[in-house]
Amino acid sequence: MSHSAINLLLSLLLLAASAPAPASATTGWWTWTPGALTPHFAFQAKIGGDILHSACNSNGTPNFPTKEPHKFNLTAQPRAASPVAVIGYYDEEKETTVVNFNCNWDTGDYEIFEEYGATNVLEDAGAPSVHEDTGLAAVELGHYGGQRLYYHDKDKRTNVIAYEDNTDWRYLGPVSRMEVAGMELAAVQTDGTNVSVVFPHDAKNLAVARYYEKAKNKWLLSSVPTPFKDPVPTNNTEPGKIGLDYSHPDPFALESFRNGTVRLGIASDPDHVLSIFYIGVDKKLHEITETNDGQWRVANGSEDQDWPEAGEDADLAVISPMGEEDVWIFYQSDHEVVQLHKRHGMWMKPANVSTEEGNSGGSHGHNMPNKHDDAGLTTGAKAGIGAGIAAGALLGGAVLFLVFRRRKKAAETEEKPPGYQNQPQELPSNADRTFELVGDTPMASQQQGYERNITSYRWSGPGQI
């Protein structure tokens, strides 16, 4: 997959169960639009279940019309409270192994563009089956290595699968072998292939997993605010060997934190310093951040910010472009979508997202990358989630990931699909397969009674299968 004009990767979690999923049903991403770095967001409507999105032709600030909301045209409708994740990547040829949506610059809608083959991604990647209430986080590494999708397996462990041109889908192993204490996930690209993932690991602490390409064990784990005991646990450390270090008082507590219902977001600054955001049971937005020596603290001044109170069960979207100082946060408050924007280390005044039709203006001093400037496209700030302008139109696309739960058969134990390998593996680059994740297909595995999997449809056109 080459990278120049924009496509957006839309990851949706669609479950057949009727109970609300505990993971976030709101997500955010960003694009380069004319003269501006523009944040976008999407969430699931509580009535009707549609995945609504801000106008794809927003410029500088997002626009979310309420009279006729923009929505993704999905053949398979998501269940209530479906976790959603959206990322983007450049695609020079506009030919991929996934379903694409393009941005209609005139209307602000995403429209189905191209469709290709179908397969069971988890089975082919040799990845563990998905938990019925999994969280979902996605990161696009751009020129550094394709896409990463983070999810929970049936044992509540955090795993990662990857898509790259020369390997197709493959399982990269567990991020952590610990059983999570909450089904929320958030991830951010920090530098090149390096990614940080955050999730609750007990009632009072968050786990932060950092991927280092050159490290022997790849993922190094830390606990916030109570640290883990030495040696530092990794993705290969068995849970029984991971413990908390209570030899020193905790520097702070996670105020109003409830591990089972918390909404999380994570950001990284140009120096790779992390900040974690969460909405507490007090309906306030909280921020904790790293210090220069790698410790954690409550962010200076965050408790005094005049940030609007979140609505009941409000979701959270945090947008942090790699290599940029900008951070955007979106959440619902009093029937409005609130936007918080951090520029050059300073938080701007909170604002409600515009609900009027039309493009939003404002370049905020960002320059549009030249589509012919390869050096510009490969910089950290633009290679991850970005957009190019071609023929005067912004091109956007989307890939749909659907995770579903099959009905359990009475007195039947779960079987493993043929060829299942619960371990990291490489797929051959010459494999004659194409991959889409866009629906619930009656595959052979369904007839054999496998309860949970990721499958896909071949789309033949807008609204058709």
Give buried/exposed letters for 191-221 (b at 16+ CB in 10 A, else e). bbbbbbbbbbbbebbbbbbbbeeeeeebbbb
Q: Is residue 459 part of a domain?
A: no
Question: pLDDT (tens digit, 9 = 90+) per residue, 40-81?
Answer: 888 888 777 788 899 988 888 899 998 899 988 766 556 565
Q: Is residue 288 part of a domain?
A: yes
Residue of higher predicted confidence among 99 and 252: 252
Q: Measured over all CA atoms, what is the biggest interatomic distance in the chain, rounded to whole angstroms?
A: 62
pLDDT at 197: 98
Question: pLDDT (tens digit, 9 = 90+) per residue, 160-184?
Answer: 988 776 777 789 999 999 999 999 9
Q: Taking a C-beta distance cutoff of 8 angstroms, is the pair 15, 92 a contact? A: no
426 class by beta-carbon count within 10 Å (0-12 exposed, 13-18 middle, 19+ buried): exposed
pLDDT of 22 higher than 90: no
Strands in 300-402 per DSSP E: 316-319, 327-333, 336-343, 346-347, 351-352, 389-390, 393-394, 400-401
Tokens 């563990």 belong to which residue?
Answer: 128
Q: Tell me the residue length of the chain.
A: 465
pLDDT at 82: 56
Q: What is the CATH number of the domain that holds 35?
A: 2.120.10.70
Say what the pTM is: 0.73
Q: Taking a C-beta distance cutoff of 8 angstroms, is the pair 132, 427 a contact? A: no
pLDDT at 226: 97
Of 4, 5, 3, 23, which Cα lies nearest the Cα of 13? Answer: 23
Q: Which domain holds residue 43?
A: 6-454
Question: pLDDT (tens digit, 9 = 90+) per residue, 283-308?
Answer: 999 999 998 888 999 999 888 899 99
Reduced 3-state DSSP string for 189-219: EEECCEEEEEEECCCCCEEEEEECCCCCCCE
The SS3 call for residue 455 is coil
pLDDT at 169: 79
Q: Taking a C-beta distance cutoff of 8 angstroms, is the pair 235, 150 a contact? A: no
Residue of higher predicted confidence among 209 and 405: 209
Q: Is residue 318 part of a domain?
A: yes
Q: How many domains does the chain divide into?
A: 1
Q: How many CB atoms lie within 10 A of CB 154?
A: 14
pLDDT at 81: 59
- Residue 277 to residue 287: CA distance in whole angstroms: 5
Two tokens, residue 285? 């937005």
Peptide bond between residue 231 and the one before it cis (omega within 30 degrees of 0): yes
- Residue 125 to residue 171: CA distance in whole angstroms: 5
The distance in angstroms from the start CA to the end CA of the chain is 24
Mean pLDDT of the chain: 71
pLDDT at 184: 94
- Residue 130 to residue 128: CA distance in whole angstroms: 6
pLDDT of 114 higher than 60: no
Q: Taking a C-beta distance cutoff of 8 angstroms, is the pair 276, 266 a contact? A: yes
Tokens 């089904």 belong to which residue?
Answer: 183
Q: Taking a C-beta distance cutoff of 8 angstroms, is the pair 113, 102 a contact? A: yes
Two tokens, residue 336? 């409005």
